[in-house]
A and B are shown apart, each in its own frame.
Chain A
């Protein structure tokens, strides 16, 4: 039974799924049903040290850099429209392979070209982040954000973080104005 988190909530993945070594993080949202420019949402991942910054730009995994330098984090690719059921974008994280000085892996979603298209998360329906066990595909935790965003154009949906030897997942729901550039800059990426 997957744990449903609300904003700020966290869950121990190791407890929920003993023996867990790798997770697939799914990001999802509904496609636009109204007329107008499509919402193109992009998932991105930040490998962060204990200061909350990337160690280098290579720790920023996104549509133009699909794999982290160490290979532990792989982005499944860009989905331009949110079509289809279930996850719209996925990120594979080999927990055992995450470098020891990476304390947190944060998952962000940004709206491409939001300002020009006059779009914000408030217009996007049913956004969620979920964590599944890569071994058996079972969902461990899920966070439905749809009431936790408004006029932001970039959001941190959630993060995996170390807790001693364990990994935990936290529902973040923190929004930023300024899109991907602002979000990446916030984590110390040179953009």
Chain B
């Protein structure tokens, strides 16, 4: 294994012949949190397609050539398949950012590049390598004639926003109390087959990247639930409810068929087990057995006063859970049936979402992402609308196989 120094570069082939890399990274220091992100940049070093920024709000690229997972003690693990990356992406830049503090204050940051299950390169910096930086570029994997790697170790005092600007991205203004909706054109398009045809021209101006963690906490600040004390793994409860049947359509219109909405979740447990909890296919889960996630019933009509309830009994066992809701039949408009969802964490924080799909095609909504990050649960409001489960899965990178089903 080669220990890189700041500025050191090497052809990747000197380290490994594999195109599959794993980069694990961790920053240790006094701040509550250090965020690690991987920027997928074009040949001119710009983030021309912001679906290739892998970070806390977007843990995978559309074709999942880059995926981010959380390891122990704040570690992030990026898995990279260079062959599956579109040819428009020529540089992957691993960065770290901090909100409350500087990199001059860190104890150290450490990354390890592995291939074929063994470490091939490492890079370590300490607080003495920095001053007032709040965002640092740590390590690059880039293509120039051939794939290369380089230890960068430079940063920006202006934090993640300065970093994104450096990469040519736009930064959304810090949102106010209402979390912004994803722009209608932000929905991912299906992945291009890879290897892709000649580099596509620069994509149209990307919507500004929202760097704010959209929290479920009413106060808009802390979204974290510490699980560090044993026995404190209290359930997270999700409720979906809606009004029975649709409205009359016009004076003489009939009441439309009863609307059937579904609540469910895609999950990955810390032990690697993954699956989907949903009424479709009678995958209701279990309270007492793995995955300790239970859907209480399939309310076919909205008649049940308490709607459908999904409970995550053991948040300490999960890696990532995406809570979703979708329209099974009876309407194509969440607002028409007054669809509303609430999610409560053990600390009593609650999020209420009044569902409102942007068009009648997109009737599948990723509501909230629940992640176990080093023993803390982070809940992020998503409310992203998709045409179906598969498109949603592609966005989040769970990697399920989807087949048509009915009930």
Contacts and interface: CB of A to CB of B under 8 A. Distances in A.
A34 B132 CA distance: 11
Interface in B128-182: 129-133, 137, 144-145, 148, 150-158, 166
Interface stretch (B3-11, B231-239, B319-327): B3-11
A34 B153 CA distance: 10
A186 interface: no
Nearest to A125: B45
B8 A118 contact: no
A120 interface: yes
A35 B150 contact: no
Given A33-B166, A34-B155, A122 B6 contact: yes
A36 B10 CA distance: 24
Nearest to B132: A35
A169 interface: no
Contacts of B157: 35
Chain A interface size band reads: 10 to 19
A32 B7 CA distance: 13
A4 interface: no
Interface string A1-41: 00000000000000000000000000000001111100000
Nearest to B9: A150
A118 B156 contact: no
A122 B144 CA distance: 15
A35 to B, nearest CB: 5
Contacts, number: 53
Interface in A111-159: 118-123, 146-147, 149-151
A120 B7 contact: yes
Contacts of A34: 133, 137, 154-156, 166
A151 B123 CA distance: 13
Q: Which of B8, B10, B156 has the most C-beta atoms of chain A within 10 angstroms of its own C-beta?
A: B8
A146 B154 CA distance: 17
B292 to A, nearest CB: 46
Nearest to B157: A35
Contacts of B148: 147
B151 A35 contact: no
A177 to B, nearest CB: 11
A178 to B, nearest CB: 15
B129 A147 contact: no
Chain B interface size band reads: 20 to 34
Given A33-B166, A36-B154, A123 B7 contact: yes
B153 to A, nearest CB: 7
A122 B142 CA distance: 14
A145 B298 CA distance: 65
Contact of B133 (A33, A36, A118): A36
Contact of B5 (A35, A36, A147, A151): A151
Contacts of B9: 122, 147, 149-150
A121 to B, nearest CB: 7
B133 A150 contact: no
Nearest to B146: A147
Contacts of B155: 34-36
Nearest to B130: A36
Contacts of A36: 130-131, 133, 154-155
Nearest to A33: B166
Contacts of B10: 150
A124 to B, nearest CB: 8
Interface in B216-236: none
Contacts of A151: 5-8
Contacts of A33: 166
B152 A123 contact: yes
Contacts of A120: 5-8
Q: Which of B9, B133, B151 has the most C-beta atoms of chain A within 10 angstroms of its own C-beta?
A: B9
Given A118-B129, A122-B151, A147-B145, A35 B156 contact: yes
B129 A122 contact: no
Contacts of B132: 35
Contacts of B8: 120, 122, 150-151
Interface in A70-126: 118-123
Contacts of B6: 118, 120, 122-123, 151
Nearest to A123: B7
B156 A121 contact: no
Nearest to A144: B144
B93 to A, nearest CB: 12
Nearest to A147: B144
A33 B45 CA distance: 13
Interface string B74-109: 000000000000000000000000000000000000
B145 A123 contact: no
A123 B5 contact: no
Interface of A: 32-36, 118-123, 146-147, 149-151
Given A36-B154, A123-B6, 8 more contacts: A34-B166, A35-B157, A36-B131, A36-B155, A122-B9, A122-B150, A147-B9, A147-B144
9 contacts: A34-B133, A34-B137, A34-B155, A35-B157, A36-B133, A118-B6, A122-B150, A123-B153, A150-B10
Interface of B: 5-10, 129-133, 137, 144-145, 148, 150-158, 166
Q: What 7 A-B pairs have minimum CB-CB distances, sorted nearest first? A: A122-B7, A120-B7, A34-B154, A35-B157, A123-B7, A150-B8, A150-B9
